[in-house]
Chain A
Amino acid sequence: MTDPVATNPDIAEPPSIPILHKNWSRVRERLKNMHTPRLFLHEEGLFLLLAVIIGLFSGLAVVCFQISIDWTRIKLLGSSLAPSPLRLILIPALAGLAVAALVIFIFPRVRGSGVNQTKAAVYIYDGYIPFSTVIGKFLTCALAIGSGQSLGPEDPSLQMGAGIASALGRRLHLSREKVRLIAPVGAAAGLAAAFNAPISAVLFVIEEVIGKWSSGVLGAVILSAVSSVTVLHLFLGEDPLFRVPPFHLVHPSELLSYAALGVIGGFASLAFVRLVSYLRLRSKAMPKWTLYVQPAAAGLLIGVMGIWTPQVMGAGYDIIDQALHDQFTWKLLVLLAVFKILATSFSFSSGAPGGMFAPTLFVGAMIGGAVGGVEHIFFPHLGGTVGGFALVGMGVLFAGFLRVPMTSVFMVMELSGNYSIILPVMISNTIAYLISLKYQPVSLFDMFSRQDGTDLPSMEEQRERSTLLVEDAMRPPAEIVLRAEDTVADASRRVSATTLEFFLVSHRNGDWTSVTKEDLRRLAKEGKGTLPLARALSSPLLPWLHPDQPLDVALRQIGEWPLLPVIHRADFNNLQGIISIADILAAYGAASDEEEHGKPGGGSEP
């Protein structure tokens, strides 16, 4: 087994930038000597305050990042929507060379998916993301995206946010647990500012990075996302990422068209994932020297595409906006979707830093718009807007390609500010998600992680995995259940015929205790044969379980007890079954066997 840290550029390891470190130490020494008033905040309070600070810093970083991308584009490709062919061929290729040099010689950790790097920080490096990654992502992504590589700024923004958070958390000497949690807080802030959509950002981070709704982190994630979006609004205005046309469902039968969009989007997602995965593997398998020219080669290919379709270059937000306003024919939309899939696959697999979010939205909007355009031709009476289809299409690809179903629904709602779009979005996204899930068992981010030789926790697998319950392990109720009112003599008589040694005792108030044959014999010898068990016994109350509780709970509760009662939730004297440690282990063993045998073939998994 190779060392993932050594082989995987996506995973960060502590860096050392001596000059920064030296200066920082000096500043710290001076600050230590200053008189500073004490802030009476406990760890939790500090965490929330830090979330706000992280949000503000991330917002500022994203504002500067977006300006840098724009500025780079204007300087390199010119201010026109359609640059000259010479520029289109030269600039992306030359910029690709520069990006490759920066990535190889100065910022080796900026290559790859920011989402996975943030997950690696959380799950492998206790929240550690070197600050040089933030600087590297900023510079290389601005150059790559600004020069026309078909990548988006959201994923880098997410990682920059996480990097800022990690740096602040470390400097403030937060507890190890908090430092681990602080990276997703920054990630949410970065993504929220990049998308101008705080709800979607929070959901994405919870759905894809953290994987669970934890009250410990939720408040901080929300605070940071809101803070960063506030900064963005302050500097770049409150307008949403896209000007979304008004939407209303003309007729319920139009939902059929949206279902068709879900099917088409699902298969398009599948093709997109497979192409990216295939090209990424192929580029990784190439000789090492090709790393210097891969981004340039991708840039050249994209530049050539750009001569005919300059729309596929860069993040493409303006083009999405135009598609939302029905400014392209359906044939051109199909062409743009296909070219964008190719261009993004070239860019991403070449190792050029940048994200997949914007290209996903682009492809989705084009496919949606094309389906809407075709609907207009064949079913003009339905009269739905092409913009509505393009908007739903964005969610469809988000659900099918990135496999974040919840985020995809809320993202469309947040971008459109229209609740009535929820029906088509839910239908289309669900269909696309299910198609993608069926034919591509491993999600995009998990695939990247496995291609890089790491095993980051798969949030999707966690969601999809069936949890073992107590009812999966329990046995039918014991033949003999004693009552607390029974006398010791009666109880001895009842248990004499059985070979069992341990018996449950039911109390009228719903409590459960236990008694062994040995206990009964001892009590009889002590002359307590006429006493009811409740008085004669002094054994502690048994913990009980319910059939629908996770089996993990049973494992924690069972302790040294030979078995535990599983009782009805509404009637505590109603014994539903019993469970022992052997039963629990047997259930886990059976589930493990089932997983081994039922494990998917892997689709295009490497």
Chain B
Amino acid sequence: MWSLERETLVLFSIVLLVVFFVITGFTVKRYHAAQAALGGRWYQRGDAALQANRPEEAVNDFHTALIYARDNATYQMRLAEALVKANHRAEAEVYLRSLWVRQPGDGNVNLQLARLSANAHNVPEAIRYYHNAIFGVWQGNPETHRRQVRIELCKFLLGEGERNAAESELIALQAELPPEAGLHTQVGLMFAQVEDYRRALQEFQQALKLNPKQSGASAGAGKAAYQLADYAQARRYFQRALDIDPKDQEAAKKLEISRLVLELDPFQRRLSQNERGRRTIAAFQQALSRLKQCAQSRGVNLQSQQESGPFASIYSSVKNMQPKVTRANLQRDPDLITNVMDLVMQMEETAQQACGTPPPPDQALLMISHTRGVTER
């Protein structure tokens, strides 16, 4: 049978329990506040260390911060970043995966995981995480983050030789670019890498429209135009590039070739037949001179009957063609221009194969031969 005292004591225990709950709640609240303050202090130290490019120190600081705020996603994220920087990739991956389980839609977590996958050359997984990051949640300025992630994805794909995938991403990126000359230049360069010169040229032109002195845009536009066999535009852009940066050797070289192409090309529109003939004869003589020099340097006697090989074969064709290459014949028979230029191309290619990169005039002739269709159009 229960005594009154026992019943009273049960109730008293419950009252005491309530009091202890309140006291413990107050204590725990203060404890959590103190822990959070300590965590914040160590986090700031880690942040400073990471910004000062001292990742090992940052790792220690973030580890300490996480002792006081074990589940703070921001601290974990920064620790993961520090771990990646300090080359502790396996540990970073563990942190990131546990973060991902909790926040699968977080843009930054997915980006860090994408970087780890990219580093491991795991292309499908990296693409998946990059896409998660692009379509994920970002705190503050999400558009910029998404654009930067897509640029990073494009660079990764280009590095992995995934040109088609990269081009798709670039087209998507092109549609959302803000009016920033630097970004357009960057995207133009990447379009050039996937050999989409038409879009590359558009981007460089856009960049130049926004900032006529944008570094790299003129040279990029010149190269894109050059690849598109639009030597007139190429010459103009290369000239602008050299105005901005006179030390740009490549631009200077390509400007010279573009200029020569424009001077030597017999297939250019709006040329008189006479001029076409003159240019064809000049091209033929230039190519023949190059062939002879090359043969001589290789110890090949073109006059000898016993010679065989590519030089002998081409020289035989040249000897047949040479009497016909007169201004009168070329004016009378326009098809002869094409035949002569075919032979020019053969001579230049033979010389190139035997003696390496030719001087600019011969390079121009090679360009004319290769891009003849484009120029004719």
Binds A, one of B90-98, B107-115, B117-125, B359-367: B90-98
Chain B 152-203 interface residues, beta-carbon cutoff 8 Å to A: none
Could you tell me the distance between the alpha carbons of A31 and B9 in the complex, rounded to whole angstroms? 8
Task: Give 20 new A-B contacts, CB below 8 A, not counting A173-B3, A326-B94.
Answer: A32-B8, A39-B10, A46-B2, A57-B13, A57-B17, A57-B20, A63-B28, A67-B28, A70-B35, A79-B41, A79-B42, A81-B60, A81-B64, A82-B60, A172-B6, A236-B28, A237-B71, A246-B97, A326-B90, A387-B94
Beta-carbon contacts of B347-369 to A below 8 Å, as 1s and 0s?
A: 00000000000000000000000
Interface class of chain B by DSSP: helix
Contact A81-B67, Cβ < 8 Å, known A37-B7, A41-B2, A67-B27: yes
* Chain A residue at minimal CB-CB distance from B35: A70
Is residue B77 within 8 Å, beta carbon to beta carbon, of the partner chain? no
The residues of A that contact B28 with a CB separation of less than 8 Å are 63, 67, 235-236
The 8 closest A-B pairs by CB, nearest first: A325-B94, A31-B8, A235-B28, A36-B8, A67-B31, A60-B24, A81-B64, A60-B20
Beta-carbon contacts of A302-328 to B below 8 Å, as 1s and 0s?
A: 000000000000000010001001110
Which residue of the partner chain, among B24, B63, B70, B71, contacts A81 with CB atoms under 8 Å? B63
Chain A 234-274 interface residues, beta-carbon cutoff 8 Å to B: 235-237, 239, 243, 245-246
A-B contact pairs, 5 of them (CB 8 A): A82-B60, A172-B9, A235-B25, A326-B90, A327-B91
Could you tell me the distance between the alpha carbons of A34 and B5 in the complex, rounded to whole angstroms? 10
* Chain B residue at minimal CB-CB distance from A168: B13
Contact A239-B67, Cβ < 8 Å, known A53-B14, A60-B21, A71-B31: no
Is residue A74 within 8 Å, beta carbon to beta carbon, of the partner chain? yes
The residues of A that contact B41 with a CB separation of less than 8 Å are 79
Is residue A520 within 8 Å, beta carbon to beta carbon, of the partner chain? no
Interface residues on A, range: 35 or more
Is residue A171 within 8 Å, beta carbon to beta carbon, of the partner chain? yes
Is residue B282 within 8 Å, beta carbon to beta carbon, of the partner chain? no
Assess whether B8 is in contact with A171, with CB atoms less than 8 Å apart: no
Assess whether A64 is in contact with B38, with CB atoms less than 8 Å apart: no
Interface residues on B, range: 35 or more
How many whole Å from A284's CB to the nearest CB in chain B? 36
The residues of A that contact B94 with a CB separation of less than 8 Å are 245, 325-326, 387
Contact A31-B13, Cβ < 8 Å, known A79-B64, A239-B70: no
Assess whether B9 is in contact with A171, with CB atoms less than 8 Å apart: yes
Chain B 74-114 interface residues, beta-carbon cutoff 8 Å to A: 88, 90-91, 94-95, 97-98
Assess whether A74 is in contact with B38, with CB atoms less than 8 Å apart: yes
Beta-carbon contacts of A54-87 to B below 8 Å, as 1s and 0s?
A: 0011001001100100110010000111100000
Could you tell me the distance between the alpha carbons of A74 and B5 in the complex, rounded to whole angstroms? 44
Which residue of the partner chain, among A32, A57, A327, contacts B4 with CB atoms under 8 Å? A32
Is residue B11 within 8 Å, beta carbon to beta carbon, of the partner chain? yes
Could you tell me the distance between the alpha carbons of A363 and B331 in the complex, rounded to whole angstroms? 96
**Most chain B beta carbons < 10 A, residue from A34, A79, A80:** A79
The residues of A that contact B7 with a CB separation of less than 8 Å are 36-39
Could you tell me the distance between the alpha carbons of A80 and B60 in the complex, rounded to whole angstroms? 9
* Chain B residue at minimal CB-CB distance from A173: B6
Assess whether A31 is in contact with B5, with CB atoms less than 8 Å apart: yes
Could you tell me the distance between the alpha carbons of A448 and B67 in the complex, rounded to whole angstroms? 34
How many whole Å from B206's CB to the nearest CB in chain A? 47
Could you tell me the distance between the alpha carbons of A82 and B63 in the complex, rounded to whole angstroms? 11
Could you tell me the distance between the alpha carbons of A49 and B25 in the complex, rounded to whole angstroms? 23
How many whole Å from B68's CB to the nearest CB in chain A? 7
Assess whether A53 is in contact with B13, with CB atoms less than 8 Å apart: yes
Assess whether B17 is in contact with A56, with CB atoms less than 8 Å apart: yes
The residues of B that contact A53 with a CB separation of less than 8 Å are 10, 13-14, 17
Assess whether B20 is in contact with A239, with CB atoms less than 8 Å apart: no
Could you tell me the distance between the alpha carbons of A235 and B26 in the complex, rounded to whole angstroms? 10
Which residue of the partner chain, among B4, B25, B60, B70, contacts A36 with CB atoms under 8 Å? B4
Assess whether B68 is in contact with A79, with CB atoms less than 8 Å apart: yes
The residues of A that contact B2 with a CB separation of less than 8 Å are 38-39, 41, 46
* Chain B residue at minimal CB-CB distance from A29: B5
Could you tell me the distance between the alpha carbons of A34 and B8 in the complex, rounded to whole angstroms? 8
Is residue A450 within 8 Å, beta carbon to beta carbon, of the partner chain? no
The residues of B that contact A245 with a CB separation of less than 8 Å are 94, 97-98
Could you tell me the distance between the alpha carbons of A326 and B64 in the complex, rounded to whole angstroms? 17
Is residue A28 within 8 Å, beta carbon to beta carbon, of the partner chain? yes
The residues of A that contact B98 with a CB separation of less than 8 Å are 243, 245
The residues of A that contact B11 with a CB separation of less than 8 Å are 36
The residues of A that contact B24 with a CB separation of less than 8 Å are 60, 63-64, 235
The residues of A that contact B70 with a CB separation of less than 8 Å are 239, 243
* Chain B residue at minimal CB-CB distance from A74: B38
